[in-house]
Amino acid sequence: MTELTDLTAVRLLDGYRKGEWSPVEVTRAALERAEAIQPEVNAFVRLTAEEALERARGSEERWRRGEPRGLLDGVPVTVKDILLQRGAPTLRGSKAVDPAAGRWDEDAPSVARLREHGAVFLGKTTTPEYGWKGVTDSPLSGVTRNPWDPSRTAGGSSGGSAAAVALGAGPLSLGTDGGGSVRIPASFCGIFALKPTYGRVPLYPASAFGTLAHVGPMTRDAADAALLMDVIGHPDSRDWSALSAPAGPYTDGLTGGVHGLRVAYSPSLGGQVAVRPAVARAVRRAVERLAELGAYVTETDPDLTDPVEAFHTLWFSGAARVTQHLGPHQRELLDPGLREICARGARYSALDYLAAVDVRMDLGRRMGRFHDTYDLLVTPTLPLTAFEAGAEVPKGSGHRRWTGWTPFTYPFNMTQQPAASVPVGADADGLPIGLQLVAARHRDDLVLRAAHALYEAGAASAGRPTPSGS
């Protein structure tokens, strides 16, 4: 029998409508799963069981009357502890954040939309300090581990969210992505994640990392992500850069398939990236499936030279800004790696920053022209599978920073394009592999549609990890 914790949000809502199960029993099951996985995987900063059950009871009564509230009434969700959630401190993975110093009485825009639509908040998920790196460990909450192998990393910076979704502690989670932070852990943990077009999901307070930072859905599949985007993808007056409302529901556009779409397949960005053979094989198989489904696939590369130095200038400057207010004692509490990049970021000049912006704008122009010819770009999400937990880079890799092993993700934060990670198999150790789908700005619908086609064709899956304590 399928467990309630294995069901997608779409399936849960269908069951509520038919009276097959109730929000209270679903919430209890999700909370039990969260508590069971926490000791080994460490996905949560806090669980809010009392609040969750109270919201579930309200939802159950609304469903009983046939008057559900919004699109997600009674669906368990989790929220990365970077986003504000009313009623609890947002600690951002940092001992330097004083939980007693804030009022904590405001929701971030995406969290507010979840609340309006009746979602049930299970808790806040782990993040590295201020979301600064591509793995999830912090001085505050320790190491978050991979659901498939707890000796490996879950990835980051939205690693707690990815682990929670993969293991059934709620089918939906909100993550943030400034350089790959929903796509990296999605690839390592075998789930779906979308970094939407910048501004599609409003953000408040504004990120110190500026317009690199996006909010995105982390889910079991593309259909759940489209549903979540229909809730959170609307403007909010607190975000001056938010886009206007989308033309229509993303869920309505899922079923168009990929027939006739022009797909560019770049296995290694023109030989710039050394991709593990198992990753390359799994991604190629999925691309072949897109061709079988009617897409016109061409193996070609975008005009994209690695913008890592420009990204570092923007990213490290943002890190310096987010910690600028801290005193000497608070700085001593920071992750040593974060302290290091903050010191480097503080040394950049305004001209250095503007030179990096020039690189970014040129990259955006080149990708814009690329998408005049191709509807979608397909790459691996990452060139490797999950490595040892507690390390910023794989042992023996020679990389200094996390950007050394994420060359497929951060360029598309610079260009603000929609990009998703889709699970397309596993390596010989059973560790998930992700495929990345990228479209032109404002074409989130195409990314979701192509991902959904892969799910419908049975080409998008990493299976399910076995939860601890089960």
Helix axes 159-166, 23-41, angle to 10 degrees: 120
Which listed residue (22, 181, 187, 317) is catalytic? 181
pLDDT (tens digit per residue) in 93-136: 999 999 998 899 999 999 999 999 999 999 999 999 999 999 99
pLDDT band at 463 (very low <50, low <70, confident <90, very high): confident
Q: What are 302-359's pLDDT values in tens digits?
A: 999 999 999 999 999 999 999 999 999 999 999 999 999 999 999 999 999 999 999 9
Nearest-angstrom CA–CA distance, 271 and 307: 15
The string of pLDDT tens digits covering residues 140-189 is 999 999 999 999 999 999 999 999 999 999 999 999 999 999 999 999 99
The pLDDT-based confidence of 468 (bands split at 50, 70, 90) is low
CATH topology of domain 6-456: Amidase signature (AS) enzymes (3.90.1300)
Q: Is 181 a catalytic residue?
A: yes
The catalytic residue among 157, 158, 161, 187 is 157
Answer yes or no: 80 catalytic: yes
Residues 6+ apart with CB under 8 A from 107: 84, 85, 86, 115
What's this model's pTM, rounded to 2 decimal places? 0.98
pLDDT over 60 at 278, yes or no: yes
- pLDDT band at 398, cuts 50/70/90? very high
**CA atoms within a 13 Å half-sphere pointing along the CA-CB vector of 414:** 29
Whether the per-residue pLDDT at 1 is higher than 70: the answer is no
| Among the listed residues 218, 207, 146, the one whose alpha carbon sits nearest the alpha carbon of residue 181 | 218
Position 15 scores a pLDDT of 98
Is 470 marked active-site?
no
Q: Which of 22, 80, 195, 421 is catalytic?
A: 80
Cα 394 to Cα 402: distance, rounded to the nearest angstrom: 9
Q: What is the pLDDT of residues 23-46, one digit of tens each?
A: 999 999 999 999 999 999 999 999
Pair of tokens at residue 459: 């080409």
pLDDT for the residue 469 = 53
- What letter does residue 96 receive in the DSSP assignment? T
Percent of the chain with pLDDT strictly greater than 90:
97
